[in-house]
Amino acid sequence: MVREFGFSAIAARSDSDPAAWRRPFLRWLDGIGAGWAIPLLLAGFVAVWTIYLCIAYAGAALHPDVLETWSFGRQLGWGYAKHPPLMGWIAGAWSTVLPATDWSFHLMAMTNAALALWCVDLVTRRFAAGDKRVIVLLLLMLTPAYQFHAQRFNANSVQLATWPLATYCFLRAFESRTTPWSAAAGITAAITVLGKYYSIFLLMSFALAAAAHPQRRAYFTSASPWISTAAGIALLWMHLDWLIVHDAAPIQHALTHARSDLATSLHDSISFVLGLLAAMAGAALTWVIVTGPRLKSFGSDMAGLNDGLRLLAYIGIGSIGLPVANALIIGTDLPSLWALQGLFLFVVVIVCGASYPIERFHTVNMTMLTAGIAVVATLVAAPVHALYRNAHGYEEGRTYYRQVADEATRQWREWTGQPLRYVGGTESLALATAFYSADHPAYGLPSSTPTTGAGTANDERGWVSLCFRDQPDCIAGAEQAAARAGHSVRREFVVQSRLLGRAGCTRRVVAWMARP
C-alpha cells in the first residue's frame, strides 16, 4: 500500500509540476479537443510503421496474401474466386493512384490500420473525451493487430476498419432510430460482409446485443432495424447476383474450413480464446499498471455501464462467443487472427467504463512506451529481421519472388520473343510473377487446385508454370498441363536472395513454358 501510495503521489506531483521533457506531450494532449492531436498520432503511426515494414522486408517481397489482393483488384468485380470483393476494390483503387511497389502497399496496409484506429476513435468519443480517447488508441497500438496483422492486407485485415465503422453507425442507429443513421448502419454492415463473410458474426452480435439491451422494445418496434436491413440488402444485391452466377465460389472456398471433428473444433476454440488473450496481454498489463489499486472497482464499473457501453459489451461478447459456438456445432477452423479486429470493443468498454480519470503522468508514459516500441522495432528489430531472413528465407519463398519473376520473364522472352501474358504454378510464385514481372502477366488459377501447379486458362496465348523444386505436387500438376498443351519446354534455375548486395540463401525453381 505504501508503494501504491508513493506511485500515486509521483503521478500527482508530475501533473502539478511536469518535467520539461513532458511538456510537449502535455501540449499535444491539450490538442485532443481541438481536433489535431489524434490525426497527428495516426500520421506518426503510419510513418514509423511503414518505415519499419520497408526495412524489415527490404530483402524480401510482399506477402502472398497482399499479392493475391492486388491480383484480384486488377479487374473490379462484385466478387472473386476465394473472397468477397472489398479488399480487391481497395487494392485496385490504391493502384490507380500510387505505383504497384512494395513501399506503396506497405503504406496502404498502414493507412488501413490508421483508418481503423480513427474509426475506433469515432466509437470512443461517444463515451469519453480528452485523454481516454488517446489511451484507447495507445492500448490498441500495443496489440499486434494494427502493425503485424495489418501488414498482410487481405480479407482479414480489411475488417480492422470496417468493424468499428459499422459498430459506430449501429450505435447511432440504436440510440437515435432515425432514418439516416439506420440506413448508414445497414450500408456499413453490408460493407463488412463485402470484406469477409466472417463479419456475419458481427451482424449477429448487433442483433443479439439489441435483443439483450433494456431498450430493445423501443428499437425493435421502430422502423430502424428494417431500414437497416433494406439498405444492407440493397448494397449486397449485386454481390448476391454475382454469387448465383458464379456458383457461390467464395462460399465454397469458405466451406473448406468446415471439416473438423468435435475434438479438433474444441481444441481450435480453446486456442482461439487463448490467442486473443495473448494478443491483449501487453495492453492488459499496461492498463493494470496504470490503474493500480483502482482496479478493485472493475466489477462495479462494469455492472454500472451506461446504455451505450452496455450495448458495446454485448457486441464484444457476441463477437467471441458466436464464432466459438459455430465452430463447435459445424466444425469449422477458428484461428484467433480472424477475430483481432473486434478487440477494440473490449478496450473501449473497459477504458471508457472506468469510473475514474487517468492522470496525464500515465498517459504520457503510455505514449512514450508505445513510441519507444515503434522506434526500437524500426531501428533495431527491422534490420535484424531483414538480415536473418536474407540468410534463412521464408517457407513461402518471399526472398526469391523478384528473382523468379525476372528470370522467368527473361527466359520466356528469349524463347518466344513475346511478352509473358499468363502465369500459373504454385500460387505464391505465380502471384509474385504477376506482380513483379515487367510484363505483369495475368494470374490464371489452375484447373484443379491452386497448389497442384496446372497451367493457365489460356493455352492459345501461352503460359509459364512455376514451382519450387521441393514441391512435388506442383511439379506433377505442371507436367500434366504441359503434356496437354504441347509445344512446351522445361527449365530449371537457381535463385538467390540478396540484401543490399549481400548474398543470402538459395532455392531451385522449375518452370514449364508452353508456346502460344
Q: Would residue 507 be called left, alpha or beta, if left means φ above 0 and alpha means ψ between -120 and 50 degrees?
A: beta
For position 3, what pLDDT does the model report? 43
pLDDT exceeds 70 at position 459: no
pLDDT in tens, 24-58: 999 999 999 999 999 999 999 999 999 999 999 99
For position 457, what pLDDT does the model report? 42
Question: What does 104-143 look like in DSSP terms, one character per residue?
Answer: HHHHHHHHHHHHHHHHHHHHHTTT--THHHHHHHHHHHTS
3-state secondary structure of 7: helix
pLDDT in tens, 428-444: 999 999 999 999 999 87
Range 171-175 average pLDDT? 97
Same domain, residue pair 95 and 202? yes
Contact between residue 207 and residue 317 where contact means Cβ atoms under 8 Å apart: no
Contact between residue 428 and residue 61 where contact means Cβ atoms under 8 Å apart: no
For position 2, what pLDDT does the model report? 38
How far apart CA 297 and CA 304 sit, in angstroms, is: 11
Out of 346, 378, 410, a domain closes at 378
Amino acid at 256: T
Same domain, residue pair 258 and 403? no
Same domain, residue pair 152 and 253? yes
Per the structure, how many domains does the chain have? 2
pLDDT in tens, 192-213: 999 999 999 999 999 999 999 9
Range 70-89 average pLDDT? 92
How far apart CA 472 and CA 452 sit, in angstroms, is: 9
Same domain, residue pair 371 and 329? yes
Same domain, residue pair 370 and 407? no
For position 450, what pLDDT does the model report? 38
Structure-model confidence comparison of residues 325 and 255, the more confident one:
325
Range 180-197 average pLDDT? 97
pLDDT exceeds 50 at position 177: yes
For position 461, what pLDDT does the model report? 73
All three cell numbers of 312? 458495446
Question: For the chain, what is the mean pLDDT?
Answer: 91
Q: Where are the beta strands (DSSP E) in 426-487?
A: 442-443, 463-468
In a domain, 390, yes or no: no
In a domain, 461, yes or no: yes
For position 1, what pLDDT does the model report? 36
* pTM metric for this prediction: 0.92
Same domain, residue pair 74 and 192? yes
**In terms of residue numbers, what domain contains 446?**
398-514
How far apart CA 132 and CA 128 sit, in angstroms, is: 6
In a domain, 86, yes or no: yes
Query: Which residues are paired to 491 by β-bridges?
Result: 511
Query: Which residues are paired to 488 by β-bridges?
Result: 514
Same domain, residue pair 226 and 109? yes
Out of 378, 409, 424, a domain closes at 378
Same domain, residue pair 33 and 172? yes
In a domain, 393, yes or no: no
Which of 258-262, 307-311, 360-364 is predicted with the least confidence, judged by mean pLDDT? 258-262
Of 188, 158, 162, the C-alpha closest to 173 is: 188
Same domain, residue pair 371 and 507? no
pLDDT exceeds 90 at position 458: no
In a domain, 389, yes or no: no
Range 98-124 average pLDDT? 97
All three cell numbers of 338? 480472424
For position 251, what pLDDT does the model report? 83
pLDDT exceeds 80 at position 456: no
Same domain, residue pair 404 and 303? no
In a domain, 95, yes or no: yes
Matching residue, cell 431500414: 227
Taking the CA atoms of residue 260, residue 263, residue 264 and residue 270 in that order, the dihedral angle to the nearest 10 degrees is 130
pLDDT exceeds 80 at position 451: no
Same domain, residue pair 217 and 282? yes
In a domain, 215, yes or no: yes
Same domain, residue pair 301 and 332? yes
pLDDT exceeds 70 at position 17: no
Range 328-354 average pLDDT? 93
In a domain, 334, yes or no: yes
Question: What percent of the chain stands above pLDDT 70?
Answer: 93
List all residues 6 or more positions away from 496 whose beta carbon is below 8 Å from its beta carbon. 400, 403, 503, 504, 505, 506
For position 350, what pLDDT does the model report? 97
pLDDT exceeds 80 at position 336: yes
User: Burial letters for 161-200: b for 16+ Cβ neighbours within 10 Å, e otherwise?
Assistant: bbbbbbbbbbbbbbbebeeebbbbbbbbbbbbbbbbbbbe
For position 134, what pLDDT does the model report? 97
Out of 349, 378, 407, a domain closes at 378
All three cell numbers of 386? 531483414
